Amino acid sequence: MHRDNPDFAMPAEEEAQLAAESFRLLADPTRIKILWALLQGESSVACLGELVGANPTVVSQHLAKLRLAGLVKGRREGTFVYYKAADVHVRRLLAEALFHAEHTDEGASEDEHGHRHREPAEPAHQH
């Protein structure tokens, strides 16, 4: 069946493992909220704690895991570290996951293929 499709391809084992690890790390509501906030601009641990309703120590632990997975990046400025989402792929992955969870979204936009997407707001300011 699949062999009849000339465009059929399976991901390499390493790619599948890395994707599964990313999904595993995203399988936490606090991490999803942290990433969503970071997609809208750089933020400190303290600000993220306020935004997601979590203790800064807990937020730091989540950020360490997300950083090791390559989903967020940190930038040191004096004694503070400011975090941001790693790249546009994180935005698309999270937007699709949240859209899927909602099933319908009044504010979603359609792309050229008729797919609806929910995007985070553009960065307004830095925390």
The pLDDT assigned to 95 comes to 86
Each residue's pLDDT, cut to its tens digit, for the chain (127 residues) gives: 777 888 889 999 999 998 888 888 888 999 999 999 999 999 999 999 999 999 999 999 999 999 988 899 999 999 999 999 988 888 888 888 888 888 655 555 555 555 555 555 555 444 5
The pLDDT assigned to 125 comes to 47
DSSP the chain: -GGG-TT--PPPHHHHHHHHHHHHHH-SHHHHHHHHHHTTS-EEHHHHHHHHT--HHHHHHHHHHHHHTTSEEEEEETTEEEEEE--HHHHHHHHHHHHHHHS--TT-EE-TTS-EE--PPPP----
Hey, what domains does the chain have and what are their CATH numbers? 14-105 (1.10.10.10)
pTM of the model: 0.71
